[in-house]
Structure 1
Amino acid sequence: MDKRNHLLKTLLIVTFCFSLLNAKAQTRLDTAFINQQLNDAVKQIKVLATKTPEHMLPRTFDKGKSVHSETGWWTSGFYPGTLLYLYEYSNDKELLQLAQQKLKILEKEQFNETTHDLGFMLYCSFGNAMRITGDTAAYRNILLTGAKSLATRFSPITKAIRSWDFDNFPVIIDNMMNLEFLTRAARLGGDKKLYDIAVTHANTTMKNHYRKDMSCYHVVDYYPKDGSVIKKKTNQGAFDESAWARGQAWGLYGYTMMYRETGDKKYLKFANKIAKYILQHPNMPKDLVPYWDFDAPNLADTSKYAAYRTNRDVSTASLMASAFLEMSTQVKGKLSTQYFDIATNIIKNLSSSTYKAALADNGGYLLKYSVGNIPAKSEIDVPLTYADYYYVEALLRYKRLLDDKKMID
């Protein structure tokens, strides 16, 4: 009986995963739908602007109060980046002016050598500003200086960029997202070593962060004197061996981006394996908005995180939508269609009233129900600035594909 039950359970999981991977989107989202979401975003971000002090950046909205950050906080680049994305769509000069005001206070972070998050802080903001406005003179040197600051955290011994300044030499999967900053800075005329650092870091992460099933650890701590691995653990996941959801999405997006930046097919192959793990996971909800940790639904009642087993993380879904759209342009045939349909369904679901806030609600943020750090009891079931950023990015990418334009400049 136990064997039959096990076989039945396995068949149910396989059936669910097959239907998830092969089901067509009910309808291809049209331009009018995408434009409506972007128009709503333009209105909503102006509400957020009224709640944001001139010298601060929006971070979240929790318990009825707006929460802001200084420029040195890792999410500081997402708000100006979102403003710039929406300016690119709408040509609304007010959005450009709001972004430029934040860029002015953010500019000093180009000299910050104490964080690995300069890609988030500077490339999402100044990188978009230069791309959209074409003003190389205003932004090129800031980007090159910031990339040099990030490169100071690279060790040729560990062959990775240090994430935090505690423990031995910790490297988190999130760091994959900052590599685009280095590759683009090299193209802007920066030292070629910036590109080499990005490639080396990606290869080291590929080697040490991933398990056989293609889930990834959140943190790998290295011994700085010889580069050996001391410990693999989590900081924001349910437990060390669990699959923290946003970490899986950081990796998916990161290796998709690295294939675009290098043309090395090993990164695309790796990203496809990560995608398979995510999409075939038995705990993936039908609406494709993951739980905060893929193992959270299985937590025993005795677990200190059992109360959070059903918490979703919209920021993970936003990241996935943007990544799967790009992946749909990198592969061919049925797999391309599958990735596009996955992204379509995520965008459609995030744009529903379940996850998308009403105008002037939610503190001015676009999306509800993200999770920052449950182990630290921080930012639980709240809007997050980076969830909005990647949601808007996904909408713009979708629009470009509908308009038969190149998705990424």
Structure 2
Amino acid sequence: MKYKCISTAIVSLVFHSFSYAQKIDIDKALDHAAKQTSVMLLEVEKAKDPAKPELVSPRTLDEGELKLVASRDWTSGFFPGVLWYLSEYTGSKEWEKQAKKFTAEIEREKTNGGTHDMGFKIYCSVGNGYRLTADRHYKDVIIESAKTLSGRFNPRTGVMRSWDHSSDKWINPVIIDNMMNLELLFAATKLTGDSSFYKIAVSHANTTMKNHFRPDYSSYHVLDYDPETGAVLKKNTHQGYSHESSWSRGQAWALYGYAMCFRETKDPQYLKQSENIANFILKHKRLPKDMVPYSDFDAPNIPNEARDASAAAVIASGLYELSLYSKQGKRLRKAADKIMKSLTTKYTAAPGQAKGFILLHSTGAAPSKSEVDVPLSYADYYYLEALLRKKNLEEGKPVVQL
């Protein structure tokens, strides 16, 4: 009996230790994010150059200096999105004021037809603004942006073209990141009743699911399509280690994108796809114990490779949503919690440091030595989104608030 009691106590201790290990002080993390972002607002003003008024939004640190980008940059909408999330969390009119100010600098992108990144730029900024304020002006911007994005759809390929650059490499490139821009199209159908946006999103998701994935549910980064026949010409990876490697953020975009597509369509094939991608990530032998992936699952110098906190943040946010729909929900949520525990305790900037960025140790494109082991605005955006999703889960509120 004595040994049984000791054994039971040990099991109980282990259980409670594991539970404690996953516990996250969400409010503390969000308060830290708010303090950092207050620093960022000051640093943005310092970094502005009157000779370059087009530079409006923070992207990263370049040799320790804050790098601002123009609205046309694919990352321009993330900082306004961070401000909207802080407005949502705090209920503060001051955060809302700042969010509106920075969002206004991005709205001109609604007619920029030269990019597929309309969702990243407009939906993360204006979309959150509309969700939180119901401002009719924001609604109009979303609809116009969706019309512009739809112009990149080719019915012969069944997908929207991603890049207009690098014509020496690809004729009609489509990247896995583009899955994230479909949410803008789904929103436009709900706002207008026009199903053409919805149909384009579904076609793109279906064609990507057919062509972009390997048998183990890892994804290529870039596919090149023949614009006349729709035939796949190349399967490449541009920001990852090699064409046959699994670039971590690409897997994150895919997991998140198909969970979102299931939410919008209730098509079970999207749920299954997101679950399979999640299993590829979570069961991968090269996923570190803290669950913050290296920049590529097949990078040659693991464990001496850069991590990508941005991929981890996207994965965690996607897992929180996927956990709502999947029979594996408890396991997926536990995995997301473990990722967020790592990010909140080991990957955040010290108070007042990093020019106000929240997360450290993200990687943009390791092969070209671009933005390696630096803060990135989109890491902060999806980190805050994941924190708010977890908070809503624990409070019994809708995790995805449309």
TM-score (norm 2): 0.90
Deviates more, 1:48-57 or 1:380-389: 48-57
Where 2:61 maps in the other structure, the secondary structure is strand
The two structures, once aligned, show a CA RMSD in angstroms of 1.5
Q: Using a 3 Å threshold, how does the CA distance of structure 1 residues 149 and 83 change in structure 2: closer, same or farther?
A: same
Aligned to 2:159: 160
- State how far apart, in whole Å, the 1-side matches of 2:252 and 2:19 are: 21
Say whether 1:29 aligns with 2:28.
Answer: no
Question: What is the identity, as a one-letter code, of the residue corresponding to 1:390?
Answer: Y
Where 1:52 maps in the other structure, the secondary structure is helix
List aligned pairs for 1:233-382, cutoff 5 A. 233-296=236-299, 299=300, 306=301, 309-332=304-327, 335-352=328-345, 354-382=346-374
Say whether 1:151 aligns with 2:150.
Answer: yes
Question: What is the identity, as a one-letter code, of the residue corresponding to 2:75?
Answer: T
Aligned to 2:13: none
What are the Cα deviations for residues 43-81 of structure 1, in whole angstroms up to 9, with x where unaligned? Answer: 110111111146510000132111110000000110000
Q: Using a 3 Å threshold, how does the CA distance of structure 1 residues 307 and 282 change in structure 2: closer, same or farther?
A: closer
List aligned pairs for 1:6-405, cutoff 5 A. 25-27=19-21, 29=23, 33-53=25-45, 55=53, 56-135=56-135, 137-165=136-164, 166=167, 167-189=170-192, 191-296=194-299, 299=300, 306=301, 309-332=304-327, 335-352=328-345, 354-405=346-397
Is the CA contact (8 Å cut-off) linking 2:22 and 2:338 kept in structure 1? no
Aligned-pair identity in percent equals 47
- State how far apart, in whole Å, the 1-side matches of 2:288 and 2:44 are: 34
Where 1:242 maps in the other structure, the secondary structure is coil
1:190 deviation in Å?
5.4
- State how far apart, in whole Å, the 1-side matches of 2:112 and 2:163 are: 13
- State how far apart, in whole Å, the 2-side matches of 1:151 and 1:76 are: 20
Q: Which ranges of 4 or more aligned residues in structure 1 deviate by more than 2 Å? A: 23-30, 306-309
Question: What is the identity, as a one-letter code, of the residue corresponding to 2:64?
Answer: G
Q: Using a 3 Å threshold, how does the CA distance of structure 1 residues 138 and 155 change in structure 2: closer, same or farther?
A: same
Q: Using a 3 Å threshold, how does the CA distance of structure 1 residues 141 and 319 change in structure 2: closer, same or farther?
A: same
1:93 deviation in Å?
1.9
Question: What is the identity, as a one-letter code, of the residue corresponding to 1:77?
Answer: G
1:343 deviation in Å?
0.8
- State how far apart, in whole Å, the 1-side matches of 2:218 and 2:114 are: 29
Report the count of equivalent residues: 373
Is the CA contact (8 Å cut-off) linking 2:77 and 2:122 kept in structure 1? yes
1:113 deviation in Å?
0.2
- State how far apart, in whole Å, the 2-side matches of 1:394 and 1:38 are: 11
Is the CA contact (8 Å cut-off) linking 1:163 and 1:175 kept in structure 2? yes
Where 1:51 maps in the other structure, the secondary structure is helix
Is the CA contact (8 Å cut-off) linking 1:25 and 1:342 kept in structure 2? no
Unaligned 5+ runs, structure 1 = 1-22, 300-305
Unaligned 5+ runs, structure 2 = 1-16
Where 1:74 maps in the other structure, the secondary structure is coil
Is the CA contact (8 Å cut-off) linking 1:173 and 1:251 kept in structure 2? yes
